[in-house]
Structure formats: structure tokens, C-alpha cells
Amino acid sequence: MSNKSRAGALATLGATLGMLGAMIGLAPSAQADACADVDVVFARGTGEPVGLGREGEAFVDALRGALPGKTVASYAVNYPASYDFLKATDGANDASAYLQTTAAACPDTSFVLGGYSQGAAVIDILTAAPGPVLDFTDPLPPAVADRVAAVAVFGNPSDRIGKPLTTASPLFGAKTVELCNGADPVCSPGNDRAAHSLYVESGLVDQGAAFAAGRLTAPVPPAAQLAANVSSGG
């Protein structure tokens, strides 16, 4: 290699190292800025590939579209989503751990919970269990639960037995939209098996996202009005 080529290579290396050094120096700030305005925690349905699932991906996309100017992150609940339905408690524990960790690191982030089919059951356990039950060992502390702005569940098996999350959870019921697609046999007495796979096509996923967006953008009552509501029992 000629002296001129060697000098050029060293200059390029120096510039690259300088850039890397700058990036490393900026890393703490980048990490601090990583907190989103809204974080969606979604549990996929039985047999869906690892990730948010088709319904979860559509839900997050719709919510982003409904919240212009806000950053929306997502977390795919880590659990088997297999036919061993007792493993839904694994998902509830994982979601709880993620929420607690992220809430501590990101004090201004609001959370949205969502789930489809068995994933809806994961959210049921997380939000309606009165405490540790079976293998669910990590209930949400009240301070973290308060940071959950909305819950959206699709094809929820508990609907089929008359225990929808909207009434089963005193803390989360009013924050919840529960959507069953027609005669979907997972969440209704009907027998339209195809309906269970059509939550995106039916528009119900968009409806759930619109509900969550409304909860996130609703005006906060003034402190004086809140105090009046408390004193009057409102």
C-alpha cells in the first residue's frame, strides 16, 4: 500500500472511530429519550407466531394513526400461546414485569393493554385476578395499574361464560372495551368459527383502537372538579 493510500485509509478509520465515539457518548441521552408517550402491551392468540400477532399489529397501527403527534411503542407479551391454556399465567407474569419495569423507567408513559383470544385471557388474569392465583405470582401494584389508560380485548373466552372483563375487574372495567365478532364461539354462544379469525376484517380492531385513543386524549378534569367529585361521591 502506498503512503498516500495508507494515509487515506487511516483518515477514513479515524473518521469512523470519531463517529462511533460520538454515538457512544450520546448513548445515555438516546436511552433517556427512548420512552414513548404510549406503550401498547399486547398478547397474541393461540398458535400465532411469536410477536404481537395479526390483531395486535393491526391494533398498534390503528392506534398510531389515531394519535398524531404522539409516539406509540409496543411490547409483545412473551408466553407460549399454545394449547396448554394454563400457560396463560406465564403471559400475565411477563406483562406485569414489563409494565413495572417500564413504568419505573418512563414516568410519563401511558399504557394500553390488549389481547386476542387466549391473549385476552392473559389480560383477564393480569387485570381481574384479586391477587396471586395458580401460577400468576406478580400482580400489578396500584400505582402501575393507574398508568393503564385503556384495555382492549378481542374474542375473549371469559365472555363465553358470562364474565366479561368490563364487569369482572373493579379497577379496569371502566377502562375496557370488550369486542366479540358476531357469533364467534370463543366469546359467544354462536357457532360461526370463521368469525374468530376476522377481527381485523370486521373493523373491530379499529374500533378497539379508537376506544383506546379516546381514553388517551380525553381531557383531564381540573383539580378543583376532581375534589368536588370526590367530596360528593361522584
Active site positions, annotated? 117, 184, 196
| Residue with cell string 368536588 | 228
Number of Cβ within a 10 Å radius of residue 220: 7
Burial label for 144, CB within 10 Å (0-12, 13-18, 19+), is middle
Written as nine digits, the cell of 119 is 391473549
Contact at 8 Å (CB) between 167 and 160?
A: no
Written as nine digits, the cell of 62 is 390503528
* HEC secondary structure over 69-133: CCCEEEEECCCCCCCCHHHHHHHHHHHHHHHHHHHHHCCCCEEEEEEECHHHHHHHHHHHCCCCE
